[in-house]
């Protein structure tokens, strides 16, 4: 009789817990990453000319699932970066981006010996278009990837990406 009572009590308790949690969103643990965009006002020489250097890179925070690591984390960061979704407050601070670029797709990410190799498809050659522009597009991706522990170098495939 006692086992039957415990079984019924356990069933009722489990049912109540399920009913109480119904309709509530499941919370997923998240972590903050940085996406690097560009502010040309921070990247000028004494004459006011834009330098197209790392000095203009500006980090913005985004949340990603804490469960992501390695290649999956790099992939998620780059997908978010090249989607170009700046919020109005970031734009008001002078942060800009040319992403998204029509047709540009991240195809593969591989990590080995501290090197992140990113393979893209750019059928419309949107990563080209002048040394300054191509350099800034490159730097945004490179700096975003270099934030992750163990990555010391970023390579792009095909090699023709980000050419003036």
Distance CA 142, CA 162 (A): 12
pLDDT in single tens digits along all 164 residues of the chain: 555 444 444 444 444 444 555 555 667 799 999 999 999 999 999 999 999 999 999 999 999 999 999 999 999 999 999 999 999 999 999 999 999 999 999 999 999 999 999 999 999 999 998 999 999 999 999 999 999 999 999 999 999 999 98
Instruction: List the beta bridge partners of residue 154.
Output: 116
Determine the pLDDT at residue 124. 95
Tell me the C-alpha to C-alpha distance, in Å, between residue 162 and each of 12, 126, 139.
62, 9, 10
Domain boundaries, given as residue ranges, for the chain: 27-157
Question: Residues 114, 146: contact at Cβ < 8 Å?
Answer: no
Rg for the chain, CA atoms, rounded: 23
Q: How far is CA 9 from the centre of its chain?
A: 48
Question: Residues 39, 94: contact at Cβ < 8 Å?
Answer: yes
């Amino acid at each position: 009789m006692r086992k039957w009572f415990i079984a019924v009590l356990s069933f009722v308790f489990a049912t109540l817990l399920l009913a109480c949690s119904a309709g509530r969103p499941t919370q997923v643990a998240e972590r903050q990453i940085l996406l690097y965009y560009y502010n040309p006002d921070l990247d000028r020489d004494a004459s006011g000319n834009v330098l197209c250097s790392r000095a203009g890179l500006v980090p913005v925070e985004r949340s990603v699932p804490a469960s992501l690591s390695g290649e999956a984390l790099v992939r998620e960061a780059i997908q978010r970066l090249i989607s170009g979704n700046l919020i109005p407050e970031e734009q008001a601070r002078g942060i800009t981006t040319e992403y998204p670029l029509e047709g540009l797709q991240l195809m593969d990410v591989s990590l080995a010996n501290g090197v992140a190799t990113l393979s893209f498809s750019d059928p419309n050659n949107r990563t080209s278009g002048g040394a300054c522009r191509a350099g800034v597009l490159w730097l945004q991706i490179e700096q975003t990837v270099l934030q992750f522990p163990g990555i010391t170098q970023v390579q792009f495939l095909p090699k023709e990406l980000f050419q003036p």
